[in-house]
């Protein structure tokens, strides 16, 4: 089964104060089947709204076209003003590869959108970044130079013939840049000053292109040029970062406004730290920061782990705790609440995946298990018991790493705890997956069987579902067994006061493996592929044997320790 191609679209509309206008635009986006609206982020001072949506390529470019069209009808650029550079009702409309699609393919879709919009709408369209048709148009700043006010003169110049649409000034809609680019993080750092000049000084320190070199006085000194007469520049500390300083009246403070165009070269935490260093050098202080639009999960995890390391704290805590550390460390909640479920792209997409069992409270889960419903059954319970066992081993690792007497070993225990978190999360996912596998068998049984063709299709569906119902509990066995080394090490080398927690963890893991193997064996009885059954039962018996030896070893160690 082929994975879906997904692209993200992040159009910026030149309206951030009248949300009824933005609602009309987002309604157009949501009218397209197969598109999910992820985020709407308005800014009053910038008078600009960043909208984020995702889907397969064709629905996304259709939604983008409808949004551009609607914006051109209800936003009047001749009356627009705001802090952010802009040139059109839909100022920019970038397409971004998310999964199973190359940048070259995204470029093709960007041009398809440009051609569609250019043909139907009386708006000039310029292609930028990877979709640029001229090297100098790769940089959005070059296209947008002079902003909306410069468009009439630009469009009279043959060098500025747009890629699509007429070379004619559209007073109401302006012009739009359509692009294909990698994920860009729009990030602002807040300062304890109202001075734009001082904020710009910091921006010059950190942005990639830095500042112009001068002789003597860094502000008023003579500009130094190269042999061709071009100004020499002192590069900033952050590669792949564009930055300016501005004052936001709404917040009554200046900010460093950044676009991080290459997160591999400059992480979010590095951008924050470099601004902080420059601010301190200039007698200023960073008070917090804000993310505009959405951010990938890994970016936030990297931030959280960076600050946990600085605190010499274990990285093997839950994903939510790492995100919490990231939010607090960057001060992302200074200007307003920061909701990870709304701001992290994977969390938005994850909300589409139903996990009814794991989302339950403990009493509800127990009550559902005890009800007359056949699911959740032994397979799901085995996965959950395994997750609890691994969680106990992970707990011992975190407790051990936080002991003052073992301060020099915190990284060692942190690595063990990280491993435990990965195993635990895999087992939690298998709780719902096992019930889905069981439900797949029920659905196959209920298929029609009135004709020979229907009987054949039903039989094949039952075999496929049965095989999957074997594979899932076997996965529970394999993943549970991956915790042996963690629990063994924590029982023998971890905090002695928590040795019984390691022991209970071992009992849970053994129970999970035995329980899951029962499900493997019972479902194997109905599978026609006897070679597959023979192989998986042989592997399962080996895992069970190792689990028994492991449990005896751990129980012995615990008994000797506690008497």
Annotation says 249 is catalytic: no
Cα separation of 315 and 306, whole Å? 9
How far is CA 235 from each of CA 211, 232, 240, rounded to the nearest angstrom?
7, 10, 11
3-state SS class at 535: helix
Task: Return left, alpha or beta for 252; rule: phi > 0 is left, psi -120 to 50 is alpha, else beta.
Answer: left
Cα separation of 198 and 179, whole Å? 32
Cα separation of 149 and 165, whole Å? 19
3-state SS class at 127: strand
Give the Cβ contact number of residue 420 at 10 Å: 26
CA 309 to chain centre: 21
- Identify whether the C-beta of residue 40 lies closer than 8 Å to the C-beta of residue 51: yes
Annotation says 84 is catalytic: yes
Residue found under tokens 């048709």:
133
Contact residues for 502 (Cβ-Cβ < 8 A; gap 6+)? 392, 393, 396, 487, 490, 491, 494, 554, 558
What pairs with residue 185 in β-bridges?
260
Q: Looking at 41, 91, 205, 434, which residue is catalytic?
A: 434
- Cis bond leading into 376, ω under 30°? yes
CA 462 to chain centre: 36
Contact residues for 263 (Cβ-Cβ < 8 A; gap 6+)? 183, 185, 240, 296, 299
Q: Looking at 41, 84, 163, 205, which residue is catalytic?
A: 84
Cα separation of 423 and 427, whole Å? 6
Which residues are catalytic, by number? 84, 434
């Amino acid at each position: 089964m082929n994975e879906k191609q997904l692209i993200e679209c992040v159009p910026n509309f030149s309206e951030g104060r009248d949300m009824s206008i933005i609602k009309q635009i987002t309604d157009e986006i949501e009218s397209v089947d197969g598109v999910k609206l992820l985020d709407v982020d308005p800014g009053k001072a910038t008078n600009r709204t960043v909208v984020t949506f995702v889907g397969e390529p064709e629905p996304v470019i259709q939604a983008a076209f409808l949004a551009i069209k609607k914006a051109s009808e209800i936003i009047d650029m001749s009356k627009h003003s705001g802090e952010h550079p802009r040139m059109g009702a839909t100022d920019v409309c970038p397409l971004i590869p998310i999964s199973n699609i190359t940048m070259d393919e995204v470029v093709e879709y960007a041009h398809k959108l440009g051609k569609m919009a250019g043909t139907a709408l009386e708006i000039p369209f310029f292609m930028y970044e990877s979709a640029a048709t001229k090297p100098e148009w790769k940089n959005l700043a070059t296209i947008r130079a002079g902003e909306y006010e410069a468009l009439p003169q630009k469009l009279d110049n043959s060098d500025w013939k747009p890629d699509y649409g007429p070379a004619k000034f559209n007073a109401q809609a302006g012009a739009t840049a359509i692009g294909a680019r990698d994920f860009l993080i729009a990030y602002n750092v807040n300062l304890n000053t109202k001075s734009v000049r001082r904020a710009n000084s910091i921006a010059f320190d950190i942005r990639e292109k830095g500042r112009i070199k001068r002789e003597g006085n860094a502000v008023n000194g003579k500009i130094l040029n190269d042999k061709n007469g071009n100004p020499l520049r002192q590069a900033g500390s952050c590669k792949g970062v564009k930055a300016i300083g501005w004052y936001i009246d709404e917040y009554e403070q200046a900010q460093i406004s950044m676009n991080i165009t290459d997160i591999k070269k400059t992480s979010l935490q590095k951008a924050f730290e470099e601004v902080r260093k420059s601010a301190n050098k200039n007698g200023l202080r960073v008070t917090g920061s804000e993310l505009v639009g959405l951010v990938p999960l890994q970016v936030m995890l990297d931030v959280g782990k960076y600050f946990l390391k600085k605190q010499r704290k274990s990285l093997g805590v839950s994903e939510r705790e790492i995100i919490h550390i990231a939010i607090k460390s960057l001060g992302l909640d200074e200007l307003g609440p920061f909701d990870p479920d709304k701001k992290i792209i994977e969390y938005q997409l994850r909300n589409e995946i139903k996990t009814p069992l794991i989302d339950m409270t403990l009493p509800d889960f127990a009550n559902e298990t005890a009800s007359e419903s056949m699911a959740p059954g032994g397979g799901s319970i085995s996965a959950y018991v395994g997750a609890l066992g691994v969680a106990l081993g992970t707990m011992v690792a975190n407790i051990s790493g936080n002991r003052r007497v073992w301060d020099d070993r915190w990284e060692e225990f942190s690595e063990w705890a990280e491993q435990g978190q990965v195993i635990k999360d895999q087992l939690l996912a298998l709780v719902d997956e096992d019930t889905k596998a069981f439900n797949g068998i029920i659905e196959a049984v209920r298929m029609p069987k009135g004709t020979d063709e229907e009987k054949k299709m039903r039989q094949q569906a039952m075999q496929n579902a049965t095989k999957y119902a074997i594979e899932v509990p076997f996965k529970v066995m394999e993943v549970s067994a991956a915790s042996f080394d963690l629990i063994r090490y924590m029982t023998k080398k971890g905090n002695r006061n928590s040795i019984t927690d390691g022991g209970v963890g071992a009992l849970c893991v053994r129970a999970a493996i035995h329980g899951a193997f029962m499900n493997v064996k019972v479902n194997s009885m109905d599978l026609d592929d006897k070679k597959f059954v023979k192989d998986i039962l042989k592997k399962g018996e080996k895992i069970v044997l190792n689990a028994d030896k492991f449990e005896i070893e751990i129980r012995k160690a615990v008994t000797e320790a506690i008497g």
